[in-house]
């Protein structure tokens, strides 16, 4: 059941990403999905969930990808241990599966998308450029050519595809936040799965870890 959920989320995540990658181009206008507050907006990033990065350059990206591999291995090991416990709740296993699926979905992009979408690489697009890489490509802007530094490509270096964006702003009467975007990040199905899993663990930890809660009370 748990790994069935993982597989399902992974399939949905990758189908959406592949559809976006093959039907949208950089700088295409966003497409409203629900009113004017929820849009489809294709971007790529070199980081993790919601575009968060772990340092910059080749080593930052490589470190992030290796961290993902280790984290996924640890989560799988943890889930397998929990499955053997008779008292474990199915809901908790499913929630853990959501986190695993999300992490694996974004890792898949970094591992294989530079090979799957080899012909889609455009060195003149901002998310494919990175200072200090030492790898140069020629770009032409308005008839003027220049050499730009582009990111490393290959296994563990691929960009993550994002597409969903909330277009909501805080009411102007709210101090400090008024007029700013409620949630500016652009995200994908994998990010959503990770967020749901983490939030549920935080909200329902007393149910998922009853023994730990009892030990704290006794102490």
114 catalytic per annotation: no
Count CB-CB contacts under 10 A for residue 140.
9
Residues 76 and 211: beta-carbon distance below 8 Å: no
Question: Of the residues 13, 109, 114, 191, which is catalytic?
Answer: 191
Sheet (strand 186-187) strand order: 31-34, 38-45, 160-166, 186-187
Residues 159 and 25: beta-carbon distance below 8 Å: no
- Structure tokens of 208? 């998922």
191 catalytic per annotation: yes
Question: Of the residues 13, 109, 114, 162, which is catalytic?
Answer: 162
Task: Compute the distance between CA of residue 99 and CA of residue 97 in angstroms, rounded to an integer.
Answer: 5
Residues 79 and 93: beta-carbon distance below 8 Å: yes
DSSP 115-145: HHTGGG--TTSGGGB-TT---EEEEEETTEE
Q: What amino acid positions are annotated as catalytic residues? A: 162, 191
């Amino acid at each position: 059941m748990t790994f069935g959920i993982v597989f399902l989320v992974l399939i949905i995540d990758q189908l959406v990403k592949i559809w976006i990658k093959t039907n949208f181009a950089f700088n295409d206008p966003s497409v409203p999905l629900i009113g004017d507050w929820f849009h489809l907006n294709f971007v790529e990033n070199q980081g993790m969930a919601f575009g968060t990065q772990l340092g910059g350059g080749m080593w930052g990206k490589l470190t992030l990808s290796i961290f993902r591999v280790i984290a996924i291995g640890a989560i799988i090991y943890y889930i397998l241990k929990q499955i053997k416990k008779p008292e474990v709740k199915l809901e908790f296993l499913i929630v853990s599966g959501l986190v695993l699926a999300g992490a694996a979905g974004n890792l898949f992009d970094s591992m294989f998308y530079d090979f799957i979408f080899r012909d889609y690489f455009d060195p003149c697009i901002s998310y494919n450029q990175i200072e200090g890489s030492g790898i140069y490509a020629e770009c032409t802007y308005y008839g003027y050519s220049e050499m730009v530094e582009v990111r490393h490509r290959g296994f563990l270096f691929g960009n993550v595809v994002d597409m969903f964006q909330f277009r909501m702003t805080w009411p102007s009467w709210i101090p400090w936040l008024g007029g700013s975007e409620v949630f500016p990040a652009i995200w994908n199905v994998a990010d959503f799965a990770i967020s749901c899993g983490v939030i549920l663990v935080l909200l329902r930890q007393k149910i998922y870890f009853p023994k730990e809660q009892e030990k704290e009370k006794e102490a």
